[in-house]
Amino acid sequence: MTEPAVEAFPGSGTGTGPTSPGAPAAPPGAPRGLDLDRLGGWLATHRPELADGPLRATLITGGKSNLTYLLHGGGREVVLRRPPLGHVLATAHDMAREHRVIAALAPTAVPVPEALLLCVDPAVIGAPFYLMQRVAGEVLRTRAQTDPLTDGQRRELAWTMMDTLAALHTVDPDEVGLADFGRPEGYLGRQVRRWAGQLDRSRSRELPGVDELRDALAASVPEGVNAGRIVHGDYRLDNLLTTVDPVSVRAVLDWEMATLGDPLADLGLLLTYWDVLGDSDLAEGNPVADGLGPRAGFPTGAELIDRYAGRSDVDVGPLHWHLALGCFKLAVICEGIHYRHTLGQTLGGGFDRIGEMVTPLVEHGLHAVREK
């Protein structure tokens, strides 16, 4: 089975730029964002089997917000998640929420890594973090990875992706201890206000049409007929660990935006990645989306929704508003990443192109929200 790609430190060429107060300078041989000496001392008390011997860490590539590291210690490998370096927006990048939701979903049909340990003390590495099991599999995020697949493998991957999302949306939050994980009432209106607020805190340039899209969404919030389901918040193919022989989803990753709300928000954002960015030349080689969708030989967005609807009791209804919300949300996320990149606070390559995607996302969102 193929493992997630990693970038080794030192000498990888990543991690350039100023160090923020939330990102202590890394000692030689450690990636930015991790103080291995402090971490080792903390693990010696809380997880001593991982602190038996020197710690080593590598940054798992591809993350666009929260940072993910492969941690080697005590003859074992685990995964560590922490918030990004600097410019952390309020309510975003919540490690405790991620840890809680994957722990709660462990006994369900939704595949998640085993949650191992949570640290909310920022004094250890400069930010809260948690540890989870390493799961074997591959994150498929580029055409170079998916072009060698057969048509059957691409189709089966798409179906398995949608079946897993349907399984998530059928989990009863009360039964897994997540009844208080969010406030379903008014979820969609709060989503518009939340992303509008995050946009204001990430603005660094003129963004034509984005205020019009925000206002149009706020003026046409639909009834949340499906409210109260567990929502991932950023569900897509490259937030899954998969295998292709046989085709399977080994784990759903990146739960930082999970809450209780309307599952159509997950579908709308997935269609944004799949049909909007997946049909854009700007997505080629881009770390947000490398054109994974129909142009890459996968089923269409309409086929994905049909597959989901056949395995879920969620009323998919008209998705145009949720697609517009997905475009707005992703535009804000891209603008936030663009802003962090201008400050030298992103790790990895390709982030210089993220800002180019904001305008087409806004344009598609305006078109979708105007549909009747």
351-366 tens-digit pLDDT: 777 888 899 999 999 9
Q: Is residue 330 a contact partner of residue 216, using CB atoms and an 8 Å limit? A: no
At residue 61, the pLDDT reads 61
Q: How far apart are CA 70 and CA 36, in angstroms?
A: 12
Distances (CA, A) of 247 to 31, 135, 158, 225, 312: 33, 15, 10, 33, 21
At residue 86, the pLDDT reads 66
At residue 9, the pLDDT reads 22
DSSP letters, 292-347, are -SGGGTPPPHHHHHHHHHTT--------HHHHHHHHHHHHHHHHHHHHHHHTT---
> pLDDT band at residue 347, thresholds of 50, 70 and 90?
low
What is the token pair recorded at 106?
């462990």
Radius of gyration of the chain from Cα atoms? 20
Q: How far apart are CA 214 and CA 124, in angstroms?
A: 39
Which amino acid does the sequence have at 167? A
Q: Is residue 257 a contact partner of residue 233, using CB atoms and an 8 Å limit? A: yes
pLDDT beyond 70 at 88 = no
Can you give the length of the chain in residues?
Answer: 372
Residue with tokens 């204001």: 200
> pLDDT band at residue 62, thresholds of 50, 70 and 90?
very low
364 vs 33, which has greater pLDDT? 364
188-197, 223-232, 248-257: lowest mean pLDDT where? 223-232
pLDDT tens-digit series, residues 121-159: 989 998 899 999 999 999 998 888 999 999 999 999 999
pLDDT beyond 70 at 250 = yes
Cα dihedral across residues 140, 143, 148, 151: positive or negative: positive
DSSP letters, 259-278, are EEE-THHHHHHHHIIIIIGG
pLDDT beyond 80 at 10 = no
